[in-house]
Amino acid sequence: MSTMWQGCLADTDYFETRSGGGRDYGVWVTTPPGYDPATTRAPVVYVLDGNWAVGLTAPLIVTQLDPLRPIQPYIQVSVGYAGAEAQHWDRLRNRDLVPPGEPIAKELVDAVEMGLRSGTRTREEADAYLAELRDTQADAFLGFLTAELHPRIERDYGTATSGHGLFGYSYGGLFGLYAWLSGSTLFESIGAGSPGVAGEDSQIFVMLQELGDRPPAARLHVTVNDQELLGDLAIYQGLAKNTATVLHRLTSRGAAVTSAVLRETHVTGLQASFLSYLRTCRAR
């Protein structure tokens, strides 16, 4: 890392990698303060949407030194997009984080069109954003994380053999639910912040029906924001309502799930959600 970036994100390495499917990713690896794998090996917490999330979440690695509410040591691996594609992260994530066959909710289309009318997106950008939702491949991205990226992190950074976690927000939170319901054995805890369960016909509800009476053993922590529920945007209202339905169905089956309502908006809630996950699932 350059001196400038090293000062902003201490103890952080950056590299780029190409998946077996031919997709390029940027990866930020932030190690605990004073980390020495020769003495103590730490587990990994994978954080999605690295292009956006790394600056908000990686500095929280210092919570491991908090004398009042210490967090168990972890290596943070933030995964985003590389090169010229990095500027398009907000639409490329649709392809990688949304479950296969996920319907495109009308409320989401309306929100994209609202962005077009307000000038925050061009027609070309709006069309490209929606196009990525027509062939979603969270299954391929989950395979990349678990079968390709993790072995490299394990080898290069001397990680622990267990205790790994995953955190995602919005569509990243939707991916967290998908990974949990898929029964991935890599993650022992998953944080799903404001998961993008946009419609009542989401694949998440299909997977819930197929789950049966034996939910995954991994711990799941879900957060939503009060302003999503109380605000006047239909996409966020639906997201909060559908997330509550998911939680009700899981707790009724005795799943290892916790939840929290945060005093944030959808845009400002990422960091608070990540901290809630750390304090709930990774407290020392």
pLDDT score for 104: 94
**pLDDT tens by residue, the chain, 284 residues:** 444 455 678 899 999 999 999 999 999 999 998 899 889 899 999 999 999 999 999 999 999 999 999 999 999 999 999 999 999 999 999 999 999 999 999 999 999 999 889 888 899 989 999 999 999 999 999 999 999 999 999 999 999 999 999 999 999 999 999 999 999 999 999 999 999 999 999 999 999 999 877 889 899 999 999 999 999 999 999 999 999 999 999 988 888 899 999 999 999 999 999 999 999 999 99
pLDDT score for 211: 87
Residue 107 class from Cβ within 10 Å (0-12 exposed, 13-18 middle, 19+ buried)? middle
Measured distance CA(249)–CA(58) in Å, rounded = 33
End-to-end C-alpha distance for the chain, whole angstroms: 30
DSSP string, 64-126: GG-SSS-B---EEEEEEE-GGGGGGHHHHHHHHHSPTT----HHHHHHHHHHHHHTSS-HHHH
Kindly report the CATH number assigned to the domain that includes residue 258: 3.40.50.1820
Please tell me the total count of domains within the chain: 1
Give the structural domain span for 26.
Answer: 3-281
Task: State pTM to two decimals.
Answer: 0.95
Q: Are 24 and 81 in contact (CB under 8 A)?
A: yes
